[in-house]
Structure 1
Amino acid sequence: MLAKRIIPCLDVKDGRVVKGVNFVQLKDAGDPVELAALYDQEGADELVFLDISASVEGRETMVDVVRETAGSISIPFTVGGGIKSVEDMQRILRAGADKIGINTAAVLDPGLITEGATRFGSQCVVVAIDARYNPEWQDWEVYTHGGRKSTGIRAVEWAEEAVRLGAGELLLTSMDADGTKDGFDLPLTSVISRKVSVPVIASGGAGQVDHFEQVLTEGCADAALAASIFHYKEISIAEVKEGLREKGVPVR
């Protein structure tokens, strides 16, 4: 088993880190540059920065904040939110990002995945998928625009298509589990992880060390992402990693 990654996530709105429950009720959680530097020091394997209102507001990602954040860390750094073109990708990579996360734009223009992979390499292209269970389908549906718009697209099929088009990694968020701290969505994560040949980052629902262990073993995820439990100091990255080591899960 390859070493599993623990990844803090900075959801940024108006230049501040925020966190909510099920994509709503957002609360302030701090300064993105300060938090990024702290997580780097604490042993995070990577960092994800999502400008969560950029797509909704129809504007570009905050390049200045990305540049400042990149300058404060030495770990791999994925940036998403409001990226609609290869030119946007290039601007964010030049600002210091190692990987680009695309979600809404990838659904609206799937060819952007291939364009980005061709230009910068698949390893740079992370397709983020926000999924919610649809009881009528008995399956998961993809949502865009920060979880505001349903697409009528099945999440498992979209994951497979995104990889076929050139995605080097998937960032899979369960909207049902987001912010609940009741555990990751194991059925969703495991079915997609087993269907695709690229790493899957599980997101949504982390509340304790056991949740990380479950999603990295039963859920077959390659990495686990969390936000609020790290932001509000409920658990540290070091505690998560130590707990995983004790349970026999390889971590860096």
Structure 2
Amino acid sequence: MLAKRIIPCLDVDNGRVKKGVNFVNLTDVGDPVEIARAYEQQGADELVFLDITATNQHRHPITETVEAVSRQVFMPLTVGGGINTLDDIQALLRAGADKVSINSASVKNPDLISQAAQRFGNQCVVVAIDVKTDPQSGQKLVYTHGGQQATNLEAIAWAKEVVQRGAGELLVTSMDHDGTKQGFDVDFYRQLTAAVEVPVIASGGAGKVEDFAQVFLQSKVTGALAASVFHFGELNIKEVKDYVRSQGVVMR
């Protein structure tokens, strides 16, 4: 059994960490280097760093900020946002990323997944999937461009496809739960992790320590990601890990 991971996420816009609810109403939280350093001291297992406006602004990923963070922290760093080419991936890996997270570009050009896996190895290719429930059909559909553009892709079918193409890990965000602090979408993650063999990080909805234990105990996710509860000091990573361990979950 893979030991479970607690993973804070930095949503970065113009070099500052931002956080919103359901992907909108962003609030400035602080400097990414300072926040990353604090999370490492609290015992975070990994850090996810997402440039949340790069795709919509048609920018390349901000490698300078990645370099600044990677010089200060030594936990694994996954970076996403604005990745469209193998050159973008190479630039981020050179800047200090351990893994890259591909979202919109994987939908636009699914071959990028297999090309990246072939060149850089499956272990550093993370496909991020933003999921929202369609009010008409009740299906979980995939969204791109920072959650702003709907697709007709069904989430679990898409997850299976990207794994087949070479994704070594999935970072799956429930847009319905994002920022609500009402808990993870456990039923969905249970179905998803039964359908794919690669590690899955659950994202969206963490509000209390019990939420982390619940998603680990009731699904096969290997990581649980949160942002606002850590950014605003409502939860401390160490206390989350201590509680989850107390519930019998093997932690890193």
The TM-score, its normalising length taken from structure 2, stands at 0.99
1:9-158 matched pairs, under 5 angstroms: 9-158=9-158
Determine the structure 2 residue equivalent to 1:184. 184
Kindly state the Cα deviation for residue 216 of structure 1 after the two structures are TM-superposed. Answer: 1.0
**CA distance in 2: counterparts of 1:146 and 1:189, whole angstroms:** 20
Kindly state the Cα deviation for residue 45 of structure 1 after the two structures are TM-superposed. Answer: 0.4
One-letter code of the match for 1:207? Answer: G
SS where residue 177 of structure 2 aligns?
A: coil
SS where residue 79 of structure 1 aligns?
A: strand
SS where residue 29 of structure 1 aligns?
A: strand
One-letter code of the match for 1:115? Answer: Q
SS where residue 117 of structure 1 aligns?
A: helix
**CA distance in 2: counterparts of 1:187 and 1:142, whole angstroms:** 17
1:164 aligns with 2:164: yes
Kindly state the Cα deviation for residue 3 of structure 1 after the two structures are TM-superposed. Answer: 1.1
SS where residue 132 of structure 2 aligns?
A: strand
**CA distance in 1: counterparts of 2:174 and 2:203, whole angstroms:** 6
**CA distance in 1: counterparts of 2:88 and 2:207, whole angstroms:** 34
**CA distance in 2: counterparts of 1:57 and 1:189, whole angstroms:** 31
One-letter code of the match for 1:97? Answer: A
110-119 or 214-223, which deviates more: 214-223
State the identity as a percent: 56
Determine the structure 1 residue equivalent to 2:175. 175
**CA distance in 2: counterparts of 1:28 and 1:193, whole angstroms:** 33
The list of structure 1 runs, each at least 4 consecutive aligned residues, that deviate by more than 6 angstroms after superposition, is: none
Please report the RMSD computed on the Cα atoms of aligned residues, expressed in angstroms. Answer: 0.7
SS where residue 137 of structure 1 aligns?
A: coil
Kindly state the Cα deviation for residue 41 of structure 1 after the two structures are TM-superposed. Answer: 1.3
Kindly state the Cα deviation for residue 85 of structure 1 after the two structures are TM-superposed. Answer: 0.5
1:220 aligns with 2:220: yes
Residue-by-residue CA offset, 1:154-195 (whole Å, 9 max, x unaligned): 011100000000000000000000000000011221111110
**CA distance in 2: counterparts of 1:195 and 1:131, whole angstroms:** 16
SS where residue 235 of structure 2 aligns?
A: coil
**CA distance in 2: counterparts of 1:71 and 1:168, whole angstroms:** 25
Determine the structure 1 residue equivalent to 2:200. 200
One-letter code of the match for 1:54? Answer: A
**CA distance in 2: counterparts of 1:2 and 1:83, whole angstroms:** 28
SS where residue 56 of structure 2 aligns?
A: helix
Residue-by-residue CA offset, 1:106-156 (whole Å, 9 max, x unaligned): 000000000000000000100000000113222200000000000111011
Kindly state the Cα deviation for residue 219 of structure 1 after the two structures are TM-superposed. Answer: 2.6
**CA distance in 2: counterparts of 1:188 and 1:134, whole angstroms:** 14
Gaps of 5+ in 2: none
SS where residue 215 of structure 1 aligns?
A: helix
The TM-score, its normalising length taken from structure 1, stands at 0.99
One-letter code of the match for 2:227? Answer: A
Residue-by-residue CA offset, 1:30-67 (whole Å, 9 max, x unaligned): 11011111111111000000000000000011110000
1-10 or 123-132, which deviates more: 1-10
**CA distance in 2: counterparts of 1:186 and 1:136, whole angstroms:** 22
Kindly state the Cα deviation for residue 206 of structure 1 after the two structures are TM-superposed. Answer: 0.3
SS where residue 132 of structure 1 aligns?
A: strand
**CA distance in 1: counterparts of 2:231 and 2:135, whole angstroms:** 32
